[in-house]
């Protein structure tokens, strides 16, 4: 069922060649291509719309869920709704991601709506990778939307990476934090050609002692365009730090619009944003190791997006 | 062997020509250690940057082992065997110390070799190997990693631009020993820009550069005794010797 092209896409977005261990759901060209529930992690199809419910029982530790989506046919446009219900006292890794290989001239689009309901004292790491390939002229479009509710004392780490081949992305994220909850968002983005990417983020820190850390790093090459609009709202005694750092190259355009708001005297909300070319001294340093300018640029970008 | 012939570098400043380096010539034979010293703003770093190719001279030639470097890029000069430790090294987000040393070396370095280079600049290696060369490191740490990268690169001609800056006393002794050993090994030529007595005393030759010209140049025994006390009061406000 998994052919060579599928394997390549799965490798890029989920880091595996074959069927993963643990719970998984593989979606290929809008149909389920494999599913496995485990004792603690149950995956069920939604009745009313495309998508799945992932129910992670309280006390589930050191388990993982893979839910990759691959599209290898041109002309597929889908919206998928995945809901994660994570109990109390869990420690789980969720690997999502979407790979589109489009060799046709029609658009392929995957819009994923992910909702997370995380209980108390849990730790969730969510990794989402986007990748596009194919020589067709059809656009590869991915619009992920993520909603997260984080319960008391829980930590949610979100790592979102889109390095190659996606023509258009509008990413949305809304997070709501209870007391002592923590969210750490790491975003890595690189755009080429005429690609366009937009990332909107809104984090509501409602609980006392909650905290948020957002580190967004991006590289815009060629004539691509990026817009960042992260927003942190402190509604209680809390701490939030947003950092957007972008490297601009060629004729690319980047807008960074960080927003912070405090509705409580003990809310500490900070943002930093910077856009600039690759530092000339960095290039010179690597050139003085015998690298060409192009090689030096690649090393700097690789590190920056690590 | 490095041959610097009638090297000049000037910049245009409000219609007048400002000479940063003014007709400097010298020869550095293989295996020799030259210390360049002199007041701040005298042109020492510019001279180093001209040799590495980071700045282009407005006059004169630079030859290395018979090859004319003058029109070559930084990359080409590096490949011919010239290395340069920056006075203010850049930082790199996401690049680990280990990766940086491997890039300098030109191939992946085994862990023990990385550790040896770090130890030679007074850094406790285990703590640093996987750290990123970013803002989390202090100025002195970045500076020492910069010197370690030149050790890892091991160029035929290594230029160090004020290696002592920002480095604590204990690590500095370590560094002096490292330079002494490099020099004793004999095959490498070294240029060290420094104000530090202990580094100056390692030199075979000393050059005093001030206002873009060579004020004094000769063997350590000739120059060293007359050096102390010169920087602060040896010149008048116009930079003329008094």
Are the CB atoms for A156 and A126 separated by under 8 Å? yes
Q: Inter-chain contact A289–B104, Cβ cutoff 8 Å? A: yes
Nearest chain A CA: its distance from B145 CA (Å):
13
Task: Kindly list the residues from chain A whose CB atom is less than 8 angstroms away from the CB atom of residue B90.
Answer: 279, 281-282, 284-285
Measured CA to CA, the distance from residue A207 to residue A100 in angstroms comes to 39
Are the CB atoms for A60 and A40 separated by under 8 Å? yes
Compute the average pLDDT of residues A148-177.
94
Of all residues in chain B, the one with the smallest CA distance to A297 is B92
Compute the average pLDDT of residues A257-271.
95
> What is the pLDDT, as a whole number, of residue A249?
96
| The token pair that represents A73 in the structure block | 């046919």
Q: How many helices (H) and strands (E) does chain B have?
A: 10, 10
Measured CA to CA, the distance from residue B99 to residue B15 in angstroms comes to 46
What pLDDT band is residue A23 in, cutting at 50, 70 and 90? very high
Sign of CA dihedral B46, B48, B53, B54: negative
> What is the pLDDT, as a whole number, of residue B233?
47
What pLDDT band is residue A184 in, cutting at 50, 70 and 90? very high
| Helices B97-105 and B111-120, packing angle to 10 deg | 100
For residue A17, what are the contacts with CB-CB under 8 A and spacing of at least 6?
A7, A10, A11
The pTM (predicted TM-score) of the whole model is 0.86
Residue A182: pLDDT over 70: yes
Q: Inter-chain contact B86–A285, Cβ cutoff 8 Å? A: yes
Q: Which among B88, B94, B106 has the least Cβ separation from residue A303?
A: B94
Measured CA to CA, the distance from residue B206 to residue B227 in angstroms comes to 10
Whether B34 has its CB under 8 Å from any CB of chain A: the answer is no
Q: Inter-chain contact A287–B73, Cβ cutoff 8 Å? A: yes
Nearest chain A CA: its distance from B54 CA (Å):
7
Q: Which among A284, A303, A305 has the least Cβ separation from residue B54?
A: A284
What is the per-residue pLDDT across B190-237, written as a single tens digit (0 to 9) for each?
999 999 999 999 999 999 999 999 999 999 999 988 886 555 445 544
Are the CB atoms for B167 and B139 separated by under 8 Å? no
For residue A204, what are the contacts with CB-CB under 8 A and spacing of at least 6?
A174, A175, A176, A177, A233, A235
> What is the pLDDT, as a whole number, of residue A266?
97
Of all residues in chain B, the one with the smallest CA distance to A280 is B90
Measured CA to CA, the distance from residue A129 to residue A160 in angstroms comes to 6
Task: Kindly list the residues from chain A whose CB atom is less than 8 angstroms away from the CB atom of residue B75.
Answer: 287, 290-293
Whether B69 has its CB under 8 Å from any CB of chain A: the answer is no
Q: Inter-chain contact B92–A291, Cβ cutoff 8 Å? A: no
Task: Kindly list the residues from chain B whose CB atom is less than 8 angstroms away from the CB atom of residue A293.
Answer: 75
Q: Which among A245, A291, A303 has the least Cβ separation from residue B95?
A: A303
> What is the pLDDT, as a whole number, of residue B229?
59
Query: Which residue positions in chain B have pLDDT lower than 70?
Result: 228-242
Q: Inter-chain contact A288–B52, Cβ cutoff 8 Å? A: yes
Nearest chain B CA: its distance from A295 CA (Å):
11
| The token pair that represents B227 in the structure block | 């050096």
> What is the pLDDT, as a whole number, of residue B133?
95
DSSP B128-179: HTTSBSSTTS-HHHHHHHHHHHHHHH--SEEEEESTTTT--HHHHHHHHHHH
What is the per-residue pLDDT across A221-259, written as a single tens digit (0 to 9) for each?
999 999 999 999 999 999 999 999 999 999 999 999 989
Of all residues in chain A, the one with the smallest CA distance to B104 is A289
What is the per-residue pLDDT across A120-152, written as a single tens digit (0 to 9) for each?
999 999 999 888 888 888 888 889 999 999 999
What pLDDT band is residue A98 in, cutting at 50, 70 and 90? confident
Q: Inter-chain contact A281–B75, Cβ cutoff 8 Å? A: no
Q: At the top level of CATH, which class does the domain B2-233 belong to?
A: alpha beta
Domain ranges for chain A:
1-166
What pLDDT band is residue A295 in, cutting at 50, 70 and 90? very high
Residue A11: pLDDT over 90: no
Measured CA to CA, the distance from residue A71 to residue A99 in angstroms comes to 6
Measured CA to CA, the distance from residue B192 to residue B36 in angstroms comes to 6
Q: Inter-chain contact B78–A305, Cβ cutoff 8 Å? A: no
Q: Inter-chain contact A300–B92, Cβ cutoff 8 Å? A: yes
Task: Kindly list the residues from chain B whose CB atom is less than 8 angstroms away from the CB atom of residue A282.
Answer: 90, 92
Give the A window 285-304 contacts with B, CB below 8 Å: 285-293, 299-300, 302-304
- A contact test, residue of B49, B79, B86, B93 with most A CBs within 10 A: B93
Measured CA to CA, the distance from residue B236 to residue B189 in angstroms comes to 34
- Rounded percentage of chain A residues whose pLDDT exceeds 90: 72
> What is the pLDDT, as a whole number, of residue A244?
93
Measured CA to CA, the distance from residue B112 to residue B59 in angstroms comes to 45
> What is the pLDDT, as a whole number, of residue A16?
66
> What is the pLDDT, as a whole number, of residue A130?
87
Q: Please state which of the ranges A1-10, A93-102, A297-306 shows the lowest mean pLDDT.
A: A1-10
Residue A250, number of CB atoms within 10 A of its CB: 10
> What is the pLDDT, as a whole number, of residue B61?
97
Closest CA to B3 of B79, B61, B73, B85: B61
Query: Taking the CA of residue B237 as centre, how many other CA atoms within 13 Å lie in the half-sphere pointing to its CB?
Result: 0
Give the A window 222-261 contacts with B, CB below 8 Å: 245
Q: Inter-chain contact B93–A304, Cβ cutoff 8 Å? A: yes
> What is the pLDDT, as a whole number, of residue A239?
98
């Amino acid at each position: 069922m998994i052919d060579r092209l599928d394997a390549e896409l799965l490798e890029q977005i989920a880091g595996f060649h074959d069927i993963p261990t643990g719970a998984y759901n593989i979606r290929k060209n809008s149909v389920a291509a494999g599913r496995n529930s485990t004792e603690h992690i149950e995956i069920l199809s939604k009745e009313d719309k495309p998508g799945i419910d992932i129910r992670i029982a309280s006390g589930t530790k050191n388990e993982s869920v893979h839910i990759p989506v691959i599209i290898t046919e041109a002309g597929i446009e889908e919206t998928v709704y995945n809901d994660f219900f994570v109990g109390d006292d869990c420690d789980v890794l969720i690997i999502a991601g979407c790979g589109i290989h489009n060799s046709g001239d029609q658009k392929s689009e995957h819009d994923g709506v992910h909702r997370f309901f995380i209980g108390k004292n849990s730790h969730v790491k969510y990794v989402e990778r986007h990748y596009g390939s194919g020589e067709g002229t059809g656009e590869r479009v991915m619009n992920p939307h993520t909603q997260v509710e984080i319960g008391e004392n829980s930590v949610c780490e979100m790592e979102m990476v889109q390095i190659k081949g996606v023509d258009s992305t509008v990413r949305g994220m809304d997070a709501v934090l209870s007391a002592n909850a923590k969210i750490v968002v790491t975003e890595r983005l690189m755009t080429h050609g005429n690609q366009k990417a937009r990332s909107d983020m809104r984090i509501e820190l409602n609980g006392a002692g909650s905290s948020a850390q957002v580190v967004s790093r991006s590289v815009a090459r060629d004539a691509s365009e990026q817009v960042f609009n992260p927003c942190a709202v402190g509604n209680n005694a809390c701490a939030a730090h947003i950092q957007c750092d972008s490297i601009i190259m060629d004729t690319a355009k980047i807008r960074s619009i960080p927003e912070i708001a405090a509705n409580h005297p003990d809310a500490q909300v900070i943002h930093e944003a910077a856009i600039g070319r690759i530092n000339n001294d960095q290039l010179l340093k690597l050139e003085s190791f015998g690298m060409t300018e192009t090689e030096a640029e690649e090393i700097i970008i690789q590190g920056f997006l690590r | 062997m490095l041959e610097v012939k009638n090297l000049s570098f000037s910049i245009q400043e409000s219609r007048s020509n400002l000479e940063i380096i003014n007709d400097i010539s010298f020869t550095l034979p293989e295996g020799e250690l030259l210390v360049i010293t002199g007041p701040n703003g005298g042109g020492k770093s510019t001279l180093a940057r001209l040799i590495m190719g980071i700045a282009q001279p407005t006059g004169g030639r630079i030859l290395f082992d018979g090859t004319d470097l003058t029109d070559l890029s930084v990359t080409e000069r590096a490949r011919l065997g010239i290395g340069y430790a920056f006075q203010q090294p850049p930082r790199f987000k996401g690049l680990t110390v280990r990766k940086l040393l491997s890039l300098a070396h030109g191939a992946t370095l085994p862990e023990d070799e990385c550790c040896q280079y770090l130890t030679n600049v007074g850094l406790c290696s285990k703590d640093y190997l996987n750290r990123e060369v970013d803002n989390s490191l202090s100025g002195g740490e970045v500076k020492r990693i910069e010197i370690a990268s030149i050790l890892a690169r091991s160029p035929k001609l290594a230029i160090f631009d004020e290696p002592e800056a920002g480095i604590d006393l204990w690590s500095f002794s370590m560094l002096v020993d490292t330079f002494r050993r490099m020099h004793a090994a004999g095959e490498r030529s070294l240029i060290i820009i420094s104000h530090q007595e202990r580094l100056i005393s390692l030199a075979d030759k000393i050059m005093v550069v001030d206002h873009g010209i060579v004020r004094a140049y000769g063997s350590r025994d000739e120059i060293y005794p007359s050096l102390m006390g010169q920087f602060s009061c040896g010149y008048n406000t116009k930079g003329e010797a008094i």
